[in-house]
Structure 1
Amino acid sequence: MGTFGAEKVFGITPDEVVRASSELDGHGSALRETGKSLSGGGAPPRDCLPGGLAAEYLEIAADRVGKLAAAEGSSTGSAASELRIFVDAVTGAESGSAERLGGRRR
């Protein structure tokens, strides 16, 4: 993916969309990593600690939140990929149209 022209579509340049999709991809990766670190933390058995039942429930909650965060991270990464595909399609169509118009002038 190279640098695109400065032509704006809906008031946005393709480079701005690529930059935003890269940021989204970074956020998605961070969410996935956070989710992985939260899920399956392995708290000690509840009878090992005072308040062990609370620790067990916290582990269950952390596991659920972790799985949801990982899923959200994957969705965010997918959205970033779709944005890049959209930019490629728009710029490809734009350059194809310009080439066809240029060919007709000859």
Structure 2
Amino acid sequence: MNLVTNKKTKGLSFLILFCIMTVVLFLTLTNTVAADQNNYEKITVKVGDSLWSIATKYQNENPGLSKQAFVSWTKSKNGLIRDHIIPNQRLIIPVKK
């Protein structure tokens, strides 16, 4: 009987530790992403803008990225699946503040 209780206690301890570690990891990653986004310019999309035209406009401020890399970075950081953007949408772009 004591052996069964000991196994349950170890299992419960492992589960609690796993949950705590998951929460800590999630909070750490969330804070890192938020801090990272604060280092980059945020723009508001205007009528007629496309990801390609925005990349062309801001390429001089980040010459280390090709236009394709600029577009890919912007899509990734903003959670865009397609190239479709709309006026008044806020975007983070790979240009340091």
TM-score calculated relative to the size of structure 1 = 0.38
Greater C-alpha Rg = 1
Compare the two structures and name the one with the higher helix fraction: 1
Task: State TM-score, norm by structure 2.
Answer: 0.41
